[in-house]
Structure 1
Amino acid sequence: MKEVTATGQSVEEAVELALGQLNATRERIEYRVIDEGKKGLFGLFGGRPAIVHVQLKPDPIEEAKLYLLDIMNEMGVEPHIEIKVEGYRADFKITGEKMALLIGKRGQTLNSLQLLTQLIANRYTNHFLNITLDAENYRHRRESSLIQLAERLAEKAVYTKKPVTLEAMPSFERKIIHNTLSKNKKIKTHSEGEEPNRYLVIHPVEKNPSY
């Protein structure tokens, strides 16, 4: 049940009755007054009840999930999705068969799906929702490989005394590398280019010449 028409002695009472039927709070509904009602003479004669039509607002997380399921169905993937919501962040953990197809090369398909799912969710809310998609714990494995890559390329930059340019990657992956190397005093990092082709560069830090 996503919408009801309710009656009461007043508009306020009719809305409250509708909330009970929908098991919702006021923040989750929109309503239209069909009839404001009229009190009868001495509260007995000639009165009529107030009538309201109350509708649940779309839930951004649920809409995002339905959108994601539609796309994966077109891909021939039948997943199980577990969602954890904390504040304005939602983590979608996806399991099932054909997860390699869902992840794509270096996570490119998963990253694209994550961006699209986030766009859909944010159509239905005034607060920005940050959505993360993970399939078969890929994000953890990718983070580990990025940390190893960052450390290896930092050593290369120091050894060759030349900047090392990485391939383009999304901002949350660049952040992993930035954070990994932030305490390394021998190098510095920065990003160049425009999204979605923005990439990270690792520079060796020149030592101050001694006099």
Structure 2
Amino acid sequence: MREVIVTGKTVEEATEKACLELGLPREEVSIEILEMPTRKLFKSTPAKVKATADEAEAPAAEEKPAAPKAEVKPEAPKAEPVVAEAAAPAQETAEEKPVTEAQQAKLDAAVAYLKTVFAAMGAGEVTVTTSKQGEACIIRVEGDDVGMLIGHRGETMESLSYLASLVANRMPGEYIKLGLDVAGYRGKREKDLEALARRMGAKVARTGRSWAMDPMNPYERRIIHSTISGMEGVRSESKGEGADRRVVIYPTDPQAAGTAFERERRGERGGRGGRGGRGGKGRGDKGRKGGERRSSVPAREFADTPREEGAAPMAPKRTQLIDDAEGFALYGKIEL
């Protein structure tokens, strides 16, 4: 078992640093919070977490396919699964396509620009390789001290990827999709986000209540949308602006509890007035019609009726505010 103790401004930041040091995704690391971050008037204490990676889990996962192999050892023909396992990496490498000369020229320009930026950031010795997967060209960066090139939740990596794409596509030729992957972070982050999206999507489908995720950058939001689109019973939308833009997952079932559709249905039922009060339906003659509200001020029906002879005159209706202090000076003599 490997353990590291890492500090950060927040618990989440310390957790990500610990996962990077261990080189494992978040699902394979157990986190123990040692100290919560605190802020005082003149001093702030960072968060401290203890990350533990159980290396014994990896062999245990490999022992599952090993059990059938031990049983089938006497039978020679059943050695085929080993061949199938060896063929799996070949399929992964087959996905990589050759890079054309025009694309390679653009990649070389982007790599030269990135190396200049890496040197200015003090990243030290780095190894840069390029490849093409599907329709996207990937620039992979490896090194001993490349954590600064990733940043918080990969924000620095995405910014560098955007700048490299601008440099590459300023050159003449067909537009290319370019991505930057530092120390395999992109693949690990994609797996974490896909797992998170599936977990939250299942929760929304089960409870029928929408769920707003934490703010994310466009790259992370695309992964969430792509994962949710492959699930049944849920859909996703991006809400907010700027740094607060986030993904909200909604249930697609209109009968789900807690949805706006259900609240509208409840508002249309009988027995409710137009403003949410109880109407006359279901309460007999005591109810009010159409949600009407009676005034608490009695109507002055006697105002227009003819008056009897000899009756006392009515007080005139006041139409102007009377100021008792009008005409007096601001300061006057006070007699004791």
TM above 0.5: yes
Gaps of 5+ in 1: 1-26, 29-57
| Residue 121 (structure 1) aligns with | 168
Report Cα offsets for 1:116-160 as digits up to 9, x if no partner.
110111111342121111011111100110011102222332344
| Residue 138 (structure 1) aligns with | 185
SS at structure 2 position matched to 1:124 = coil
Report Cα offsets for 1:8-47 as digits up to 9, x if no partner.
xxxxxxxxxxxxxxxxxxx98xxxxxxxxxxxxxxxxxxx
Amino acid paired to 2:252: V
Counterpart of 1:70 (choices 103, 116, 124) is 116
Separation in 2 of the partners of 1:73 and 1:194?
34
Separation in 2 of the partners of 1:114 and 1:158?
35
Instruction: Give the Å deviation of 1:97.
Output: 1.4
Quote the RMSD (CA, aligned, Å): 2.7
Amino acid paired to 2:137: A
SS at structure 2 position matched to 1:80 = strand
| Residue 59 (structure 1) aligns with | 105
SS at structure 2 position matched to 1:206 = coil
| Residue 178 (structure 1) aligns with | 225
Instruction: Give the Å deviation of 1:181.
Output: 2.0
**1:147 partnered with 2:221:** no
Task: Quickly say closer, same or farther: Cα 1:164–1:87, change in 2 above 3 A.
Answer: closer
SS at structure 2 position matched to 1:94 = strand
Instruction: Give the Å deviation of 1:82.
Output: 0.4
Separation in 1 of the partners of 2:175 and 2:241?
22
TM-score norm. by structure 2 comes to 0.41
Instruction: Give the Å deviation of 1:87.
Output: 8.4
SS at structure 1 position matched to 2:170 = helix
Instruction: Give the Å deviation of 1:202.
Output: 0.3
Separation in 2 of the partners of 1:83 and 1:195?
31
Task: Quickly say closer, same or farther: Cα 1:155–1:88, change in 2 above 3 A.
Answer: closer
Separation in 2 of the partners of 1:204 and 1:87?
32
Separation in 2 of the partners of 1:115 and 1:164?
29
Instruction: Give the Å deviation of 1:178.
Output: 2.0
Instruction: Give the Å deviation of 1:196.
Output: 6.5
Separation in 1 of the partners of 2:231 and 2:127?
41
| Residue 146 (structure 2) aligns with | 99
Amino acid paired to 2:192: S
Report if aligned partners of 1:88, 1:128 keep a CA contact under 8 Å in 2.
no
Q: Which structure is higher in strand share? A: 1
Amino acid paired to 1:146: L
Q: Which has the higher contact order (CA 8 A, sep 6+)?
A: 1
| Residue 247 (structure 2) aligns with | 200
| Residue 17 (structure 1) aligns with | none
Report Cα offsets for 1:43-67 as digits up to 9, x if no partner.
xxxxxxxxxxxxxxx9322211111
Task: Quickly say closer, same or farther: Cα 1:140–1:120, change in 2 above 3 A.
Answer: same
Separation in 2 of the partners of 1:62 and 1:183?
36
Identity across aligned pairs (percent)?
32
**1:112 partnered with 2:159:** yes
Task: Quickly say closer, same or farther: Cα 1:134–1:86, change in 2 above 3 A.
Answer: closer
Number of equivalent positions: 154
Separation in 2 of the partners of 1:87 and 1:158?
32
Separation in 2 of the partners of 1:83 and 1:177?
26
Report if aligned partners of 1:88, 1:127 keep a CA contact under 8 Å in 2.
no
Instruction: Give the Å deviation of 1:208.
Output: 4.2
Separation in 2 of the partners of 1:183 and 1:90?
25
Report if aligned partners of 1:187, 1:205 keep a CA contact under 8 Å in 2.
yes
Separation in 1 of the partners of 2:199 and 2:133?
35
